[in-house]
Chains A and B, each alone.
Chain A
């Protein structure tokens, strides 16, 4: 695609957004996520993220994990050491006080993703809207991204797979991770499988760049921390209720 095309698309997108704003009566707040058209490319006007409130996350509950496995056709195969886990429930206990925390951990969709920096072929990449993905068409399976990921968020497919779902193609010898349910985002859904499944609504999905979005408003109200924030990775997944 030429630069001209991408410029034109952005211009058209902006124009149609303005038009939509004009047609709605003033004072009416649009709550739905702006669905992008099929032929529209992901744009850097958005940055998708998740906010996880650890106070609402219950110990022992793994509904988000089950939902993710269901959504992407992840099945137990050769044991927990080698099976893919795109999202996992982690329990944390403070070494001195004994304070307990529970949270789901998945790909943090970093703004400065180490996996993208180290990938020799460019298979690891960040989409314009901030989603970090693996292009498994050019992944050679070197697993250097897994070495580089500070969150152990990636899994290597250790065996031949069959009966993958049409929306979640995956295969032997390549690396994969949470896609932030990119197939849902692209069709305009306002949730991910995990956030939808959470009985306590501990997970909020939304556009970090839209100040009116629920996620941005919650962040503005109570803030949100990054895991391993010393690494300064500008993660798209933020946590509430963990020490600053």
Chain B
């Protein structure tokens, strides 16, 4: 009897944790399989597989170079990633980081990896700030 209860409990636990984790199916894609929102430009700085695996290291390396030495190349710069990957839709709106449609959030929510970048950095492309800049 006790064994049965244990099995039922175990089953419930697995089911519960599974429902918490959800199933990872990669970033949101539209009918053609493009990541939503569609990135600008032709290609990323590295193949998708490499980007998925290495983007955090690239960003970290670039971060220290820019911060400490003032090297401001565009490759692997967070601002440039955002400029390319977070693009406004037809009505000029973008998904913010608290929205699962945001490029970074689309994976990070599913993978349950919380990132700290956007408590300081802009989650929207620089073009959306042009008004404030010219003010």
A and B touching (Cβ–Cβ under 8 A): yes
Which of B67, B82, B125, B133 is within 8 Å of A135, CB to CB? Answer: B67
The answer to whether B67 and A137 have CB atoms under 8 Å apart is yes
Most buried by B among A125, A133, A164: A164
Shortest CB–CB separation between residue A82 and chain B, in angstroms? 18
What chain B residues lie within 8 Å of A40 (beta carbons)?
A: 71
Given contacts A70-B135, A133-B67, A137-B63, contact A169 B72 (CB under 8 A): no
List CB contacts (< 8 Å) of A144-185 with chain B: 160-161, 163-167, 169-172, 174, 182, 185
Closest B-chain residue to A127, C-beta based? B70
List CB contacts (< 8 Å) of B49-108 with chain A: 63, 65, 67-74, 79, 82
Q: Is the interface of A mostly helix, strand, loop or mixed?
A: loop
Instruction: Let me know if B25 is at the binding interface, CB within 8 A.
Output: no
The answer to whether A38 and B72 have CB atoms under 8 Å apart is yes
What chain A residues lie within 8 Å of B71 (beta carbons)?
A: 38-41
Given contacts A70-B135, A165-B129, A166-B79, contact A42 B70 (CB under 8 A): yes
Instruction: Let me know if A128 is at the binding interface, CB within 8 A.
Output: yes
Given contacts A70-B135, A73-B132, A166-B79, contact A135 B68 (CB under 8 A): yes
Instruction: Let me know if A129 is at the binding interface, CB within 8 A.
Output: yes
Give Cα A73–Cα B120 distance, bound, in whole angstroms. Answer: 12
Q: Is the interface of B mostly helix, strand, loop or mixed?
A: helix
Closest A-chain residue to B117, C-beta based? A169
Q: List 30 A-B contacts (CB under 8 A).
A: A38-B73, A39-B71, A39-B73, A40-B71, A41-B65, A41-B69, A41-B71, A42-B69, A42-B70, A125-B68, A127-B68, A127-B70, A133-B67, A137-B63, A137-B67, A161-B120, A163-B122, A164-B120, A166-B82, A166-B122, A166-B125, A166-B126, A166-B129, A169-B121, A170-B120, A171-B119, A182-B70, A185-B70, A186-B72, A187-B72
Q: 20 other contacts beyond A164-B120, A166-B79, A166-B122, with CB at 8 A cut-off?
A: A1-B65, A1-B69, A38-B72, A40-B71, A41-B69, A41-B70, A42-B70, A70-B135, A127-B70, A136-B120, A161-B120, A165-B129, A165-B132, A166-B121, A166-B126, A166-B129, A167-B126, A170-B120, A172-B119, A182-B70
